[in-house]
Structure 1
Amino acid sequence: MPKIVCDVTKCSHNKSNVCYANRINVAGGNAENSKQTNCASFLDKNHYSTLTNNTNYDSDECNAIVCNVHSCTYNHNKCCYADSIQVTGDGANLYEETNCHTFKPE
């Protein structure tokens, strides 16, 4: 299973619901629920095309998650320790329209 399952189909890093960014940044400060979080690494395909052309192997999928959601159970020193995360926001045009669905408040 990929570290990041992503249904943000308009993101340049997304290929078949797998994230191929070098790393992602999850934002949300002191969020109280997943709607107050987002994937700050979202890049709209309309502006950036697809950034997954050179990634043909599962080993190239993203597994580095910088977490800036201080109130999440999985955050330890800005690293995400969840086994995997789900990023939601199908139809998103801006990073603020994405969410870390795995967010779990402390």
Structure 2
Amino acid sequence: MPELKCTVQTCTHNQNNYCCLDRIVVGGNTAKQAEDTCCDSFEKRKGQSMSNSAKEASAYSSIDCKAKDCMYNKECECQAGKISVEGGDACRCQETACATFQKSI
């Protein structure tokens, strides 16, 4: 299970740069670079609340990866040791990205 760091402060699942979901989905079926990926699990935070989850955020999360050309994707599961989801002030999932994406050779 990869260590997951998330800088998407506008996501309702983000707690102190960690995710409170046990599993996220990284989209980007035809991705050729990191900017072509996104966090399909992104949900825009409503109001000022920090999270809509009572679950404590964890540094680790399972990652269902749709980016079939990523070198870390093995049978739709991310095998990277660490990943970083970025998108700062994203308003929708397309404004997020898996910064760890590396195109397979």
Question: How far apart, in 2, do the equivalents of 1:22 and 1:51 lie?
Answer: 14
TM-score by length of 2: 0.88
Summarize the alignment of residues 1-106 of structure 1 with structure 2, pairs less than 5 Å apart: 3-46=3-46, 50-55=51-56, 58=58, 61-106=59-104
Displacement over 4 Å in runs of 4+: none
Q: What percentage of residue pairs aligned between the two structures are identical?
A: 34
TM-score by length of 1: 0.87
**Structure 1: stretches of 5+ with no match in the other structure:** none
- Is the contact made by 1:15 and 1:52 (CA closer than 8 Å) also made in structure 2? no
Could you tell me how far 1:62 is from its partner in structure 2?
4.3
**Structure 2: stretches of 5+ with no match in the other structure:** none
Could you tell me how far 1:30 is from its partner in structure 2?
2.0
Could you tell me how far 1:77 is from its partner in structure 2?
0.3
- Is the contact made by 1:21 and 1:62 (CA closer than 8 Å) also made in structure 2? no
RMSD, aligned α-carbons: 1.7
More helix by share: 1
